[in-house]
Structure 1
Amino acid sequence: MTIRGLIARFTQQEDLNFLLTNRVPRAALTRFMGWFSKIENPLVRDASIACWRLFSDLDLSEAKKTEFKSLHDCFTRELRPGLRPVDPDPAIVVSPSDGIIGAHGRIADTELFQIKGAPYSLLDLLGDPVLVDQHRNGRFLTLRLTSSMYHRFHAPYDATIKRVTFIHGDVWNVNPIALKRVERLFCKNERAVLRTRLSTGEALTLVPVAAILVASIRLHFLDVTLNAQSRGPVDFACFARVKKGDELGWFEHGSTIIVLAPESFEFADGVVEGARIRAGEPLLRKPQV
């Protein structure tokens, strides 16, 4: 096959992927999945997990449990103790989740990228000019969770979570194909903005972004699950103290976490686009005092 033919074939595959995962009634399909995944029927559960295995690299060997009540129970599974050790170096901010490292780098004033050539603004993402100023010219990093990954996320450092803002939105797929085709995708999807202050004083913000078949973000420290059915308050004031590695919550499928850090922080060794990272592994390095 010629190079032109290979390109055409690849483009057709992308078109099909985008059509099947985005040009569908996304909100209705997501609500259905939320209901369906919680059915505690052994036949439904087993058939669903078998189908999931067929179309992904799902590996349940690390799971704490060997039996699940439902597909949802499997999605949000805990791991056996000790499988995600947290880097103890006080200069290291760790990854809050398992994921594939996506776009990352320096924020150009208030502009960052969802993928090369596809910019968006901090204000569109966060909706708060004060928070935007805190991260102006800072660092950003995107972590994409696939459907088969461990879906719980953790505190990247000893910190205090002072406020959570839930922003209603769409449920576009967040895979690279959609990121290339949907402008400002992260700013359109449902998301939570977790404002944290590290124990050493720096502001660090986590933005879990929901997606199709997900659109539910569980936050343990607030004891809430945020989704399209959530009804106020949009802002949750809190004062939750967390330690590096503490579990913060989970997605009900796979999605994305955007990490925003101060300008003085540097990326840890091995942080490159396309690399896989696990919760607790080095993500950012704080400046030496």
Structure 2
Amino acid sequence: MTFKVFLQYALPHRFLSRLVYWGTRWTFAPWKNWLIGAIVRNYDVDMRQAAQPDPLAYQHFNAFFTRKLKPGARQADADPAAVLSPADGRISQAGPIVDGRIFQAKGQDYSATELLGGDEAAAAPYRNGRFATVYLSPRDYHRVHMPLKGTLKETVHVPGRIFSVAPFAVEAIPRLFARNERLVCHFEGEHGPFVVVMVGAILVSSVATVWDGLVIPPYAPSIRRKSFAGQDITLDRFAEMARFNMGSTVIVLLPDGMAELDLLEPQQTVLVGQRLGRLASA
């Protein structure tokens, strides 16, 4: 075990994340300008696509981090049957779900059931379906968009650790995505159900949705389910659905027979709206 991996187990995850949550919302100009400038320089952030291109004009660091893009900076694939990337970032892994197991990295995998909070019935449609895992780095656009049109049926806030989701941790920590704090969003689409999972990470474990506002924190002491049945919350394909206050990982699950994914290589760069695959019945 490397020292970096050891620290993932030893550090007080939630305490550090609470400090970062506060620090990224501090409006003290010298602090927020230093922090924003450090990220822009160290991660080569392209501000030309931002609706507000001046990084120091943002009220605080989190406003910069969750910045809007200019109209037209991202476009949905023109094929209405295309399954879209929900985020800017890199493909961590993508492909078939095999007997309910989802590939993580280098011989690591985890079950769809545990990812979805231990709900075997909810995981059943995805037993031999398809998945795509997208990792967002600090330089990326941090709003998450719909891969398909869908009606929200339920969210499940699953408590857990807040390990890093950087590649070194994904390769070394068993079942990482099924252990981290996460928000599971169940949708019903025109061609069947699908799931979008927002996975938290150390220092960056804050998630807000367009229908509920800030959801994480607070951190969940136990699994929290919230039904949206009958509320008719329907989001179009490519519509914004959520954002990470700081970055993390998005996982999309598609049921068996709904779609075929394109050949997506690990570490391949993707953008919101880019085609990941195509609906099989369209």
Q: TM-score, length-normalised on structure 2? A: 0.91
Q: 2 CA distance for matches of 1:148 and 1:202?
A: 34
Aligned to 1:102: 92
Cα distance, 1:123 vs. partner? Answer: 1.4
Q: 2 CA distance for matches of 1:214 and 1:19?
A: 19
* Residues 71-150 of structure 1 mapped to structure 2, 5 A cutoff: 71-126=61-116, 127-150=118-141
Q: 1:208 aligns with which of 198, 211, 214?
A: 198
* Matched-pair contact (CA < 8 Å) for 2:145–2:238: yes
Q: 2 CA distance for matches of 1:118 and 1:281?
A: 27
Q: Indicate how the Cα distance of structure 1 residues 279 and 131 shifts in structure 2: closer, same or farther if over 3 A, else same.
A: same
The residue identity in structure 1 corresponding to 2:21 is G
Q: Indicate how the Cα distance of structure 1 residues 20 and 50 shifts in structure 2: closer, same or farther if over 3 A, else same.
A: farther
Q: 1 CA distance for matches of 2:249 and 2:159?
A: 16
- Classify the secondary structure of the residue corresponding to 1:61: helix
**Runs of 4+ more than 3 Å apart:** 14-23, 228-233
Q: 1:53 aligns with which of 35, 40, 45?
A: 40
Higher CA-based Rg:
1
Q: TM-score, length-normalised on structure 1? A: 0.89
Q: Indicate how the Cα distance of structure 1 residues 176 and 284 shifts in structure 2: closer, same or farther if over 3 A, else same.
A: same
Aligned to 1:186: 177
* Matched-pair contact (CA < 8 Å) for 1:103–1:116: no
Q: 2 CA distance for matches of 1:53 and 1:223?
A: 27
Q: 2 CA distance for matches of 1:147 and 1:173?
A: 13
Q: 2 CA distance for matches of 1:232 and 1:29?
A: 20
Q: 1:38 aligns with which of 19, 25, 28?
A: 25
1:112-151 deviation line (CA, Å, top 9, x unaligned): 1111300111111112111111111111111000111100
Aligned to 2:162: 171
1:262 aligns to 2:252 (yes or no): no
Moved more, 220-229 or 132-141: 220-229
Aligned to 2:145: 154
Gaps of 5+ in 1: 1-13
Size of the alignment, in residue pairs?
274
Q: Indicate how the Cα distance of structure 1 residues 46 and 94 shifts in structure 2: closer, same or farther if over 3 A, else same.
A: same
Cα distance, 1:232 vs. partner? Answer: 8.6
The residue identity in structure 1 corresponding to 2:138 is S
Q: 1 CA distance for matches of 2:201 and 2:58?
A: 23
The two structures, once aligned, show a CA RMSD in angstroms of 1.9
The residue identity in structure 1 corresponding to 2:48 is S
